[in-house]
Amino acid sequence: MIQFNFLSKTFNVIIKVCLSLLGLVIAFLMFKEIWVLLSSFTTGFIDYSFYDIIDRILTFFLFLEFLELIIHYLSDNDHPTIKKYIYIAVASIVRLLISNHETSQLSLFLQCSAILVLIIGTVMLNLWEI
C-alpha cells in the first residue's frame, strides 16, 4: 500500500509539473496574440483582414479558457468537472464556425450537430446532478 501511495504522489507531481509547463506555454501564446493585436491596432489594420483579427481575438479567449482550467486544477488541487471540458469544446467549435468561411454545408451541419450533442450532454449532466 505504501508503494502505491508513493507512485500516486509521484504521478501527481509529474502531472502538476506538466500542467505548469503547459500553462506557461499557453500564457506565452496569449501574450503573443495580444502583441499581434496591439501591433495591428498601431498600424491601422493594414496587414490583417477583419477575419484575421476576429480569429486572433477568438483564439485569445480560447487560450484564456484553457489557462483558467489549468489554474483551477493547480490551485484547488481538484479535478475540473466534465462540464468545463464540454464548455471549452463548444467554444472551440463555435470559434471554428465563426472563423472558417469556406466550409461545405455538410461540414457546417456536422459542426452544428456536434454543438447540439455537447449541449444535450451538458443538460443531461445538470439533470443528473439534482
The string of pLDDT tens digits covering residues 79-128 is 778 888 898 889 889 888 888 877 788 999 999 999 999 999 999 999 98
| pLDDT of 130 higher than 60 | no
Q: Is the pLDDT of residue 15 over 60?
A: yes
- Compare 73 and 63 and report the one with higher pLDDT: 63
Average pLDDT over residues 64-93: 83
What confidence score (pLDDT) does residue 77 get? 66
* 43-46-51-55 Cα dihedral, nearest 10 degrees: -30
pLDDT at 53: 83
Q: Among residues of the chain, what percentage have pLDDT more than 90?
A: 28
Residue 5 reports pLDDT greater than 90: no
